[in-house]
Amino acid sequence: MAPDSIGDAELPGAASPPTQRVVAVLELLSRHATERLSLARIVREAGLSRATAHAVLAQLTAEGWTVRDNDGCYGIGLRLLTVARRAEAAFPLRRTAVPHLRELSEQAGVPVFLAERAGNSIVVTEVVGHPSAGWIRPGRRLPLAPPVCREFVAWAPEPVQQAWLATADPAHHDRLARVLAEIRTRGYSVERLVDDSTPMLEVLAGLRDSPITAALRAQLGSVITELITIDYLPDELGPENAVVTLSAPIRDRSGAVVAAVVSCPDTRLSALALSQLGVATVSAADRITSGGSHD
């Protein structure tokens, strides 16, 4: 995976690079909320110069967003924690979902996460357990684009489905259409990979999410698509089936899919075990749907 840094240079299209540098520092510290990070580590992992990182941290610390201990290491401050707790009120879905995610993870014995729709993207917002895939972490953003995030599209109106399919690789259009119908029938999507392709896929996905040209991003997308075997159709299930993730939809009061519960076995499952995990994941998603309005 590409490192989570924005660098000290201005990013193409960045409206405010100084703001992005502040955000990079806060995001880094929040991912290590129980630790204290040295300035050298922050410089390295946030991709900033030492002078820039020091200036950002000095201002954040002066205003209480971060704290600095006697060893010169930094952590999140009480002001940031206070703002985060106030902000939770704006996201009732997460409060509703967390107990059900934990219950599913404990019963199924696999990590679980919540993915929420945000415009044309899907954002990982809650993670229970420790998924083996490095990209699964709070704040991770994925494009709502073929061939992934199918559970967000399968129940959409026909024009929306067709518009989504129109952006897919033409070679996969027919299969994706059949897969969407199968997802509606069984209630969940399955992400599977060609054997031994996971490490390569993660590297390519990291490159695609980095600041690169649109043409190169499109080329990387085509390579990634070639590594993905899109879901399972009923006649493709065998004695053992490679399952990375399994996703079931959460709906708002109008019935639109606004989020998904995603189980992460990342192993081979029998057809029966896959079906049982699917049923459990759908059940958790349905309980979350019925537990709040999720507007």
Query: What domains does the chain contain, in order, with CATH numbers?
Result: 17-86 (1.10.10.10), 91-290 (3.30.450.40)
Burial 38-68 (b: 16+ CB within 10 A, else e): ebebbbebbbbeeebbeebbeebeeeebbbb
pLDDT tier for residue 101 given thresholds of 50, 70 and 90: very high
pLDDT tier for residue 285 given thresholds of 50, 70 and 90: very high
Rounded mean pLDDT, 196-212: 59
Q: For all residues of the chain together, what is the average pLDDT? A: 85
In the prediction, which pLDDT does 74 show?
95
Rounded mean pLDDT, 169-177: 89
> What percentage of residues in the chain have a pLDDT greater than 70?
80
In the prediction, which pLDDT does 291 show?
79
CA dihedral sign, ordered 44, 48, 52, 56: negative
Residue 23, judged by CB atoms within 10 A of its CB (0-12, 13-18, 19+), counts as: middle
Grouping H, G, I as helix, E, B as strand and the rest as coil, residue 187 is: coil
pLDDT tier for residue 222 given thresholds of 50, 70 and 90: low
Residue corresponding to tokens 């000095």? 58
Q: In degrees rounded to 5, what are phi and psi of residue 91?
A: -130, 70
CB 261 within 8 A of CB 215: no
pTM for this predicted structure: 0.66
In the prediction, which pLDDT does 2 show?
31
pLDDT of 248 over the 90 cut: yes
Helix or strand holding residue 112 (H, E)? strand 112-118
Count of positions (residues) in the chain: 295
What is the C-alpha to C-alpha distance for residues 279 and 285, in angstroms, rounded to an integer? Answer: 10
pLDDT digits (tens, 9 = 90+) for 14-34: 567 888 899 999 989 988 888
Rounded mean pLDDT, 131-140: 83
pLDDT of 171 over the 90 cut: no
Closest CA to 186 of 112, 274, 284: 274
